[in-house]
Amino acid sequence: MTAPRAGLPDPRKSRAVLVGVSEYATLEELPGVANNIEALNRAMTDPELWGLPEEHCVALLNPESPDEVMEAVHQAASEATDALLFYYAGHGLLDNRFELYLAMPGSDNERLYRSVRYDDIRREVVGTALSCYGKVVLLDCCYSGRALGGMGGSVDDLADQARVDGTYVMTATAETRKALAPPGERYTAFTGTLVDKLTRGLPDGPELLDMETLFHHMKADLQARHFPVPQQRSRNDGAAITLVRNRWSAGRTTVERSTPSARVLPQPPAGFEAFLRRRPSDVYAEVQTLRAHEQDEIAEQLLVACAVLRPDQEVAAIVGLLRRSGATADVVKVLMAVSRRPPDEVLRILDALYDTELSGEAALLLHEAGHGSVRDAAALAHLLQDGGRAGELVRLLDAALDSAQASSSLIDLVNALWVAGLREEVDSLIGRTVTRLPAPAVLALADELRSVGREGAAFGLYAASAEAMVSRPPDVVAQLCHAMAEAGRPADGDKVAKAVIDSTTESGDFLAIALAFWETGQEQHAERVLTRAAKVLRNDAVIALVAELRVHGHDDAAHRFCSRAMLNRSAQSIQEIIAELREEGWPVLAKNLLDEVTAQASVATVAELLALCTAADRQRVLSLAGERGQHEVAELLKRLAPAQPALAREFTDRITAKVETRTELVPVVIEGLGPRHKEQLLERIIENNGGSGLVTVLNALPASEAKYLMFLIVRAGQAKFLSVVSSLPGRDPHRFLRDQPVERLPSLIKVLLTIPDGSRYTDAVLAELAAPERGFPAITRELSTLFDENETMVGKLMLSKTLAGRSSSDLKSFVQALRIENRPKVLAATADWVKEHYEEVGATDGILRRIGLPEYASRRSLFGKRTKR
């Protein structure tokens, strides 16, 4: 499907259906409608205008049934491949859903079934005429504005079809107003004006009359006669559809047009007519004389008469004389009077002012002309445009804009400029309103533009002044945002919606705007409303809005809203809302929301909530909190440990019971804990898990933490240790026992020695600690620690591992290291070990002296009495 093509539609490929009802069984008769049908039929078939063959233009006056109309429309829509026109004149009726019905002779408000439903017409025009380039609907009936939404895209199941290129609708009234059929007139008001423009043509109009040009000329005429103004809507160049030639431009006007009434201009005071031909200096001298004799009114009349009646050069001369005389007030009076002259004369005087180097006065004249009638301003703008005088055109239109805003006639100015053919200038002017006018005035202009079908321009203004939309009712805002989206302007709709939502603060207002958005199918905006309400409403208002949402059947939305509200609040507020929800009789909602808060709220909030909630809720929160991410679990435990140790232990039990399924949890959790709380956590892990679970944890931990856990496992007793050993590959715990800090050795060795086969593990641990490659300084420090802590038994075992198999040279080096480190207890133990080890060779004293321990010769050994073999 393509957009309307340039040029007049081919009459052979086009169709028209004209329907009129002038006689009714119960409704008021409309005699002018019969003339409407006759005149339009004649215009559409006139070869000088369009030239539809008679068989292609079906005229139905007072059809017997709705079926007769629908059959004609269906046939025309099926056959048309270039243009399709549907026209209806008669009574319009509305049902209880405000849908428009076109009344047939037997119709009334009680018998709508005897009417043609407009949506059925639209379905045929949009859905059946798929091969048609341009589709036009003209409705001359009450409430006809109800049709405007459908052809431009509605929210029902035909929304997609309604977005077909090349549709245009013009209606006699807005959707809530009645059309006018003036008594005694030959035609109804709307159709009479349409027939006039079609048959007479438009002066200075284009060769082919497009629908938008027709509309603006019709609107100007109807408005001037104080009749209801028409409305229009179009979709994708629908306004550019042409149906007839402009008879006026073709020079074939067949009906005389009434000439505009002559412009009435001020005249000179009686007896002063001669001054219209006197020199400017004489005129101003006379004005001064009159003022000197206190005849100010006559003086001003004379000055104004010269301004409006004398030729252009003479007016420029008067202005120049006044400026040289310093008579600024008189300059303004003259230029104000000049601005009321016909536009072509104003242009000549403007040129004369420039020619005499009075550019400042020329600018003032443009300003005054802009503050005159909108028709004169538009006509002068047209002349400036034709002359390529863009700068002066902008100054004139800016002045006209200021004046129109002050006099509430903005749309009159726009329409006058449109009629004058200044379409691009209209768009430019509309764009400048945003920066030059207060927001309420911009919105008023947007409303008017939308009412005449200039939706694109209107939407831009609404978006630019979105903050002012807060004063509009919610349903109006929602419908506007929907229309913007349907017209391909979703960003404008988003801006308006955001401004309105961000300004809302009360529960009732949030409900109203959310319902309006849901009603128009705009879920995304309704969700924004809920998000905003969740942030700003008090706790009691949150409960109130939840209740209202549920009353209106939006239970899921109530759930989402309350969840967002709680996530934005303190633990105290969360607990209050949960309690209130239960009090209202919504325990399931309260439970689900508590779950969501536990899973999504900040860790700090969850920690505070645990201290506030009931015992039953606390168990649920602890359980669900343990399912959160590893870092969040770690942070929660870190917060609970110092402040709520009992809760910390309970939480630890919950998370440690799942270590086999969440092995990644333990390393992260213990990382942020202090030594005491770390030990408590690991002890709970040991207590709550068997051997396989503990092996899983050992493998998941960093080496240092794994060794610490193994130390605690050993300390927990042989049963726990052996269960771990049995679950290890090769039943070998050595990699977790090795390289333990010396302070752990006493407890570790003592427990290992009580375990079956424990001496093997002990020997391996001590052998690594005493390995020569570690160097004597490191070994002596650890030995000294053991002896200083009175862990003599473990110290002797390690010392034996250190000294066994060493040469006398090694022993001497070892002693030297002890003396350097000043380790007297270890020196004494070393001497005892030598006495015990070398007694059998009878050289103990000599060895002690040789290795540097002479002071210990001939002493008893700490290792026991010497024995002889």
Which of the residue ranges 104-118, 632-646, 806-820 has the most confident prediction, judged by mean pLDDT? Answer: 104-118
Q: Residues 108, 113, 115, 117: is their CA dihedral positive or negative? A: positive
Cα distances from 378 to residues 392, 453, 454, 563, in angstroms, run 13, 20, 19, 58
What integer pLDDT is reported at residue 780 of this predicted model? Answer: 87
Is the pLDDT score of 742 beyond 60?
yes
> Please, which pLDDT band fits residue 166 given cuts at 50, 70 and 90?
low
> Please, which pLDDT band fits residue 154 given cuts at 50, 70 and 90?
very low
Is the pLDDT score of 61 beyond 80?
yes
Q: Which residue type sits at 375?
A: R
CA pair distance 374, 401, nearest whole angstrom: 10
Is the pLDDT score of 659 beyond 70?
no
What integer pLDDT is reported at residue 335 of this predicted model? Answer: 95
What integer pLDDT is reported at residue 148 of this predicted model? Answer: 59
> Please, which pLDDT band fits residue 160 given cuts at 50, 70 and 90?
very low
Cα-trace Rg, the chain: 50
What integer pLDDT is reported at residue 516 of this predicted model? Answer: 96
Q: Which residue type sits at 380?
A: L
Note the Cα 422 to chain centre separation in Å: 35
The set of residues, in sequence order, having a beta carbon less than 8 Å from that of 664 and lying 6+ positions away, is 630, 700
Is the pLDDT score of 862 beyond 60?
no
Is the pLDDT score of 254 beyond 90?
no
Q: Of 76-80, 132-136, 160-164, which gets the smallest average pLDDT?
A: 160-164
Cα distances from 249 to residues 213, 559, 749, in angstroms, run 14, 66, 116
CA pair distance 283, 277, nearest whole angstrom: 9
What integer pLDDT is reported at residue 153 of this predicted model? Answer: 34
Mean pLDDT score of the chain = 86
pLDDT above 90 covers a percentage of the chain that reads: 48
Q: What is the mean pLDDT of residues 89-117?
A: 91
Q: Of 131-135, 147-151, 505-509, which gets the smallest average pLDDT?
A: 147-151
What integer pLDDT is reported at residue 163 of this predicted model? Answer: 32
- 3-state SS class at 169: strand
Dmax (CA) for the chain in angstroms is 166
- 3-state SS class at 312: helix
Which of the residue ranges 5-14, 418-427, 430-439 has the most confident prediction, judged by mean pLDDT? Answer: 5-14
What integer pLDDT is reported at residue 689 of this predicted model? Answer: 86
What integer pLDDT is reported at residue 864 of this predicted model? Answer: 47
The domain 11-245 having CATH identifier 3.40.50.1460: the answer here is yes
- 3-state SS class at 287: helix
- For 504-508, the CB contacts below 8 A with 24+ separation are 504/470, 504/529, 504/532, 504/533, 505/536, 506/541, 507/533, 507/537, 507/541, 507/544, 507/545, 507/548, 508/548
Q: What is the pLDDT of residues 609-625, one digit of tens each?
A: 999 999 999 999 999 99
What integer pLDDT is reported at residue 253 of this predicted model? Answer: 46
Is the pLDDT score of 247 beyond 90?
no
CA pair distance 779, 798, nearest whole angstrom: 9
What integer pLDDT is reported at residue 62 of this predicted model? Answer: 96
CB 370 within 8 A of CB 397: yes
Please tell me which residue, 444 or 420, carries the higher pLDDT value: 444
**How many helices (DSSP H) and strands (DSSP E) are in the chain?**
44, 11
- Comparing C-alpha atoms, which of 156, 40, 155, 20 is closest to residue 92? 20
Torsion of CA 775, 781, 786, 788, to 10 degrees: 150
> Please, which pLDDT band fits residue 309 given cuts at 50, 70 and 90?
very high
Eight-state DSSP code of residue 153:
-
Name the burial class of residue 812, with classes exposed (0-12), middle (13-18) and buried (19+) by CB atoms within 10 angstroms of its CB.
Answer: middle
Q: What is the mean pLDDT of residues 70-75?
A: 97
Please tell me which residue, 842 or 647, carries the higher pLDDT value: 647
Please tell me which residue, 431 or 113, carries the higher pLDDT value: 113
Q: What is the pLDDT of residues 80-92, one digit of tens each?
A: 999 999 999 999 8
- Comparing C-alpha atoms, which of 510, 513, 440, 505 is closest to residue 480? 513
Is the pLDDT score of 857 beyond 70?
yes
Q: What is the pLDDT of residues 752-799, one digit of tens each?
A: 888 887 888 888 888 888 888 888 888 888 888 888 888 888 889 889
What integer pLDDT is reported at residue 14 of this predicted model? Answer: 95
Mode of pairing for the β-strands spanning 83-89 and 15-20: parallel
Q: What is the mean pLDDT of residues 38-67?
A: 95
What integer pLDDT is reported at residue 868 of this predicted model? Answer: 38
Interior CA angle at 342 toward 336 and 346, to 5°? 55
Interior CA angle at 853 toward 849 and 857, to 5°? 70
Is the pLDDT score of 175 beyond 50?
no
**Structure tokens given for 573:** 């507020």
- 3-state SS class at 60: strand
**Structure tokens given for 495:** 């801006």
> Please, which pLDDT band fits residue 289 given cuts at 50, 70 and 90?
very high
- Comparing C-alpha atoms, which of 290, 100, 84 is closest to residue 176? 100
Q: What is the mean pLDDT of residues 231-259?
A: 67
Residue whose tokens read 């319009």: 92
Q: What is the mean pLDDT of residues 306-313?
A: 94
What integer pLDDT is reported at residue 634 of this predicted model? Answer: 85
Where is 136: in which H helix or E strand? strand 134-140
Eight-state DSSP code of residue 246:
-
Is the pLDDT score of 164 beyond 50?
no
Eight-state DSSP code of residue 861:
B
Q: What is the pLDDT of residues 314-339, one digit of tens each?
A: 999 999 999 999 999 999 999 999 99
Residue whose tokens read 């005149």: 39
Q: Of 269-283, 465-479, 562-576, 743-757, which gets the smallest average pLDDT?
A: 743-757
CB 4 within 8 A of CB 134: yes
Please tell me which residue, 642 or 415, carries the higher pLDDT value: 642
> Please, which pLDDT band fits residue 842 given cuts at 50, 70 and 90?
low
**Residues shown for the chain:** 869
> Please, which pLDDT band fits residue 435 given cuts at 50, 70 and 90?
confident
Is the pLDDT score of 702 beyond 50?
yes
What integer pLDDT is reported at residue 332 of this predicted model? Answer: 94
Q: What is the pLDDT of residues 350-395, one digit of tens each?
A: 999 999 999 999 999 999 999 988 889 988 998 998 899 989 998 9
Q: What is the mean pLDDT of residues 479-484?
A: 94
> Please, which pLDDT band fits residue 147 given cuts at 50, 70 and 90?
low
> Please, which pLDDT band fits residue 259 given cuts at 50, 70 and 90?
very low
Where is 138: in which H helix or E strand? strand 134-140
CA pair distance 94, 84, nearest whole angstrom: 26
What integer pLDDT is reported at residue 212 of this predicted model? Answer: 85
**Structure tokens given for 133:** 């380039």
What integer pLDDT is reported at residue 6 of this predicted model? Answer: 61
Please tell me which residue, 150 or 3, carries the higher pLDDT value: 3
> Please, which pLDDT band fits residue 101 given cuts at 50, 70 and 90?
very high
- Comparing C-alpha atoms, which of 317, 315, 375 is closest to residue 342? 375
What integer pLDDT is reported at residue 657 of this predicted model? Answer: 72
Residue whose tokens read 């420029």: 316
Is the pLDDT score of 600 beyond 90?
yes
Q: What is the mean pLDDT of residues 148-155?
A: 40
Mode of pairing for the β-strands spanning 100-102 and 57-61: unpaired
Cα distances from 27 to residues 24, 32, 227, 260, in angstroms, run 5, 15, 22, 38
Which of the residue ranges 73-82, 133-142, 830-839 has the most confident prediction, judged by mean pLDDT? Answer: 73-82
Q: Of 72-81, 104-113, 312-321, 763-772, which gets the smallest average pLDDT?
A: 763-772
Q: What is the mean pLDDT of residues 187-216?
A: 89
> Residue ranges per domain, the chain?
11-245, 770-869
What integer pLDDT is reported at residue 131 of this predicted model? Answer: 84
Name the burial class of residue 257, with classes exposed (0-12), middle (13-18) and buried (19+) by CB atoms within 10 angstroms of its CB.
Answer: exposed
Which of the residue ranges 146-160, 285-299, 404-418, 445-459 has the most confident prediction, judged by mean pLDDT? Answer: 285-299
